[in-house]
Amino acid sequence: MNVISVKNISKNYLGKKVVNALKDINLEINKGEIFGLIGPDGAGKTSLFRILTTLLIPDQGTATVEGFDVVNEFREIRSRVGYMPGKFSLYQDLSIEENLNFFAHVFNTTIEENYDLIKDIYVQIEPFKKRKAGNLSGGMKQKLALCCSLIHKPSVLFLDEPTTGVDPVSRKEFWDMLTRLKQQNITIMVSTPYMDEAGLCDRIALMQSGEILSVNTPIKITKQYPDKLYAIKSDNNYQLLENLRKREEISSCYIFGEYLHVNFKTEKINISGVEIHEIEPGIEDCFIYLMNRNEGNRN
């Protein structure tokens, strides 16, 4: 049985303008996986998390978590999942210790009862346990929020952009922690806008504008890239970008760090006065390729 199953889920927000936040989403997530939802702001990641954690009702489709329906069996789900929302949602006026005790109390447990699960993370913030949550650094807030979401020993953990705005060292530590939680057989669904974190997941879904563009292991997604990709650099990359985008034989060209990444429609490459070499595509290249293809199909 899949731990999370999403079938034809759609969600619209009604307002002056209707927003199609999720369009016919289908996903299956296996036990013990670290599954990444990768996509830019507005892709629909939070809406999907909120549906799976029973905080939002879908307009269409069905979804189950640990075999329970997200609408009809929400109570069963709430006791089994941990949710770390994107925005810091703990009590800023309570200390680390008080926040943790509060969440333990809500779930009818104690810090001591499940200490084993949070120990690795908690020891890093314990020296500051009397400090108010509002006065913690980004990395420490994130560790506290993770502890609070784990305190009732959930079997599924939903983490919405847990590393956004967190320094690179804390980001690395955070992903190490997720690997340790996975070893305890916890299924983890995590969203991130950082493409480098995609490679740390067992499988990922690339999401854009409420749609899933691809689901696979990070390696398979990059292997499916259908074209040759070149990195090109000149003294003036902006001028080069403008020139290349006008050329008929170039199907895509975008800035990537100090290089431009370019696809050609033709095998023969006629370009001089630049540094050019073929490269292996990364997740971000795959994302851009799939996004362009999706937009092309729509037009």
Per CB under 6 A, contacts with ligand ATP among 171-190 are none
Residue number, 45 or 261, with CB nearest to ligand ATP: 45
Residues from 44 through 83 that contact ligand ATP (CB under 6 A) = 44-47
Site for ligand ATP in 89-108 (CB under 6 A): none
CA–CA separation, 85 and 129 (whole Å): 22
Toward ligand ATP, which CB reaches closer, 164 or 216?
164
Whichever of 50 and 141 has its CB closer to ligand ATP, that residue is 50
166 binds ligand ATP (CB under 6 A): no
For residue 270, the number of C-alpha atoms closer than 13 Å in the C-beta half-sphere is: 6
Residue 92 corresponds to which tokens in the numbers above?
A: 């800023």
Nearer to ligand ATP, 9 or 96 (CB): 9
What is the footprint of ligand ATP within residues 11-50 (CB under 6 A)?
A: 13, 15, 19, 21, 39, 41-47
| Smaller CB separation from ligand ATP, 145 or 244 | 145
Task: Supply the minimum distance, in Å, between the C-beta of residue 213 and ligand ATP.
Answer: 13
**286 closest CA partner among 206, 209, 172, 167:** 206
Range 62-97 burial, b when 16+ CB lie within 10 A, else e: ebbbbebebeeeeeebbebbbbbbeebebeeeebbb
Task: Please count the residues of the chain.
Answer: 299
- CA 225/CA 227 separation, integer angstroms: 6
Residues that bind ligand ATP (CB under 6 A): 13, 15, 19, 21, 39, 41-47, 86
